[in-house]
Amino acid sequence: MAVAVILVVAAAFAAPSASAAGRREPVRVTRFLGERSLPHLTRLDGTTVGGLSGIDHDPRTGTWYFISDDRWRYNPARFYTGRLHIDRVTGEFRGVRLTGVTTLTRADGTPYPGYGKPESADPESIRYDRWKGRLLWGDEGDRPDDRNPGIPLSQPAVRAMDRQGRHLDAFPLPRTLRLTRGERGPRRNFGFEGLAVTPRVVTAVTEGPRYEDGAPPTAERGAPARVTVWSRDGRLRGQYAYPVDALPAAPVPPTGDADSGVSEILAVDDLRYLALERSWIQGVGYRARLYEFDLRGATDVLARRSLTDGRPYRPVTKRLLLDLSEAVPQSETPVQNYESLAWGPRLANGECTLVVGSDDNFSQEEVTRFLAFGATGCR
């Protein structure tokens, strides 16, 4: 579906026009290829597997990368390597196997501190940058709020590391996305959640709205997240508003908790992306939808401190690709906490494979689950 937009003359630094990227067919999900899960609290090389919040694939070697958002509840911040077995002829998704684990380290060579400590990391996304042979990862950061007043500030970041987990560099953080101790900037758990990379740009999205951009989504209305784009050499190129849906259902009871936002993005090209929107609603459970969105024609809001000050802007446009609560057979497990998204190997018939993964939160009530789909219109 197309999202209604507020008409406005594009800013001087707005996203490029349609002609800049050429015309390409839209992404379409063609079929469900299967699902596979990992046993709860799997052990590998002395670590506890869980909290897998980002995945990516190196098409040249077939290696998959899985980043954990464990904040030293079990082990230091880390990523896993492994294999997803998808038959290139039939498309059948046959299995998943983890083969190794790597600790993420800071510039001084030490692991990131654990939860509640200064400079703690909250890894939420990982991308293999095949054009530079490095890994990029998104750190949501942390900050105090009314429920957690003692949490120290740890700024969100998009960082580069080598395949041994060693820090290489960090991208400049826009002023609008700096965490604070007051009601300014991103809310707690609404920092960088999704990350994408192309031959020309690196793109990241916040999970939900900053304080100045409005309240989080409710069953009656959605809210804007911010999509930030850098050049490959780290220069800020722009920032755009992504309209997160209203909650798909009201909490039960109506005063219950809910959490909704963008949990991952995936590049189709420099201007088009897939977005995974995931909601948890008390009394309802998880819901997840997959969208394609386009930066073309969107207003650059990089310099805007607020999206609720009355000045008009045009958000990105998006259309629904897949409702995961309807498209996947719910054989034994309901919709999970889907947080990761990656392109897999191309099939013999020309289809791409698209993999969606869930973060089990180390909970026995949730599952580390991978879904595979066939798709066309991909890069």
Digit-coded pLDDT (tens) for 158-175: 999 999 999 999 999 999
Whether pLDDT at 5 is above 50: no
Average of per-residue pLDDT across 46-52: 98
Tell whether the torsion through CA atoms of 110, 115, 118 and 124 is positive or negative.
positive
3-state secondary structure string, 139-203? ECCECCCCCCCCCCCECCEEEEECCCCCEEEECCCCHHHCCCCCCCCECCCCCEEEEEECCCEEE
DSSP, res 13: T
* CA nearest to 181, candidates 150, 142, 140, 143: 143
pLDDT of residue 326: 85
Assign 332 a pLDDT band (cuts: 50, 70, 90): low
Structure tokens at 263: 């949990």
pLDDT of residue 259: 94
Look at 113 and 22; give whichever has higher pLDDT: 113
Distance of CA 153 to the CA centre of its chain: 22
Whether pLDDT at 15 is above 60: no
pLDDT of residue 21: 47
Whether pLDDT at 132 is above 60: yes
Of 6-15, 129-138, 158-167, 200-209, minimum mean pLDDT range: 6-15
Measure the CA angle with vertex 122, ends 369 and 76; round to 5°.
Answer: 85
Query: 31 pairs with which residues across the strands?
Result: 374
Give yes or no for a contact between 149 and 126, defined as CB atoms under 8 angstroms apart.
no
* Residue 219 neighbours by CB distance under 10 Å: 14
Q: pLDDT tens across 31-48, in order? A: 999 999 999 999 999 999
pLDDT of residue 333: 65
Average of per-residue pLDDT across 338-360: 97
Whether pLDDT at 213 is above 80: yes
Look at 11 and 308; give whichever has higher pLDDT: 308
* CA nearest to 204, candidates 144, 159, 243, 165: 159
Structure tokens at 345: 């190997």
Residue 327 buriedness (CB in 10 A; 0-12 / 13-18 / 19+): middle
CATH numbers and ranges of domains, the chain: 18-376 (2.115.10)
Amino acid at the residue 110: T
Assign 9 a pLDDT band (cuts: 50, 70, 90): very low
**DSSP reduced 3-state for 51:** coil
pLDDT of residue 328: 76
Sorted by sequence, the CB contacts under 8 Å of residue 335 that are 6+ apart come out as 285, 286, 287, 288, 324, 325, 328
Structure tokens at 126: 């990982």
> CA torsion, points 110, 112, 266, 241, in degrees to nearest 10?
-130
pLDDT of residue 331: 57
Measure the CA angle with vertex 194, ends 190 and 195; round to 5°.
Answer: 135
Assign 1 a pLDDT band (cuts: 50, 70, 90): very low
Of 11-20, 51-60, 67-76, minimum mean pLDDT range: 11-20
DSSP assignment of 282-307 equals TTTEEEEEEEEEE-TTPPP-TT-S-S
Distances in Å between the alpha carbon of 372 and those of 68, 91, 151, 259, 355?
20, 9, 38, 25, 5
Assign 211 a pLDDT band (cuts: 50, 70, 90): very high
Whether pLDDT at 278 is above 90: yes
Question: What's the CA gap between 36 and 370, in Å, rounded?
Answer: 5
pLDDT of residue 205: 98
Q: pLDDT tens across 77-110, in order? A: 999 999 999 999 999 999 999 999 999 999 999 9
- Average pLDDT of the chain, as a whole number: 93
Whether pLDDT at 248 is above 90: yes
pLDDT of residue 330: 61
pLDDT of residue 141: 97
Average of per-residue pLDDT across 179-192: 97
Query: 35 pairs with which residues across the strands?
Result: 371
